A = this chain, B = another copy of it.
């Protein structure tokens, strides 16, 4: 059924090539990051009473990873939907991770949080999305693979080296690029918080889960 393709035209892509490509994407994201937006986000974190995080699918795992580190730093951090998360109040801050900014469940959560009078921060690849329009603070990650682009602007195909068919085809499928960017960005915020609070790494270690 599948027509035979001359093996020579395709060379197997080494696993590391995809990693290098991701490193390049993160470099590109870091260079195009609005430092004003990032500092505004940082200030919201430093000034927050309690920080709630939310995200769907893999973005939800990034949100949880961020919340865990905030807890290590001594913040009152909560994950929307986990067991001991108390009710959200007007004095609280919600950080939503959504590449599209349109995920139904996350839009609902953000609208409820705004309705209560709280603060909403968004990490996204879609600065014109529904959540972006209601958020108090938006940080945009570049949509380098074009996954979230409304206009489906074709991503400028750029191969790592000429010898591989195309790393692009299988690189960072679906929301992978956003999720990795969001993780690296939120960990950079953790580092910036540590700088700002001159956080003691020994104190952080002391808060690490120790019963599992």
Contacts and interface: CB of A to CB of B under 8 A. Distances in A.
Nearest to A27: B23
Interface in A75-93: 77-88
Interface residues of A, number: 89
A29 B58 CA distance: 23
Contacts of A69: 58, 173, 176
A75 B207 CA distance: 19
Instruction: Provide the main secondary structure of the chain A interface.
Output: helix
Interface in A21-68: 22-24, 26-27, 29-31, 33, 35, 38-39, 42, 52, 54, 56-58, 61-62, 64-65, 67-68
A191 B168 CA distance: 10
Nearest to A208: B87
Taken together, the copies of this chain in the complex come to 4
Given A15-B35, A174-B204, 6 more contacts: A13-B195, A23-B30, A61-B65, A65-B179, A87-B209, A173-B191
A170 interface: yes
Interface in A193-212: 194-195, 199, 201, 204-212
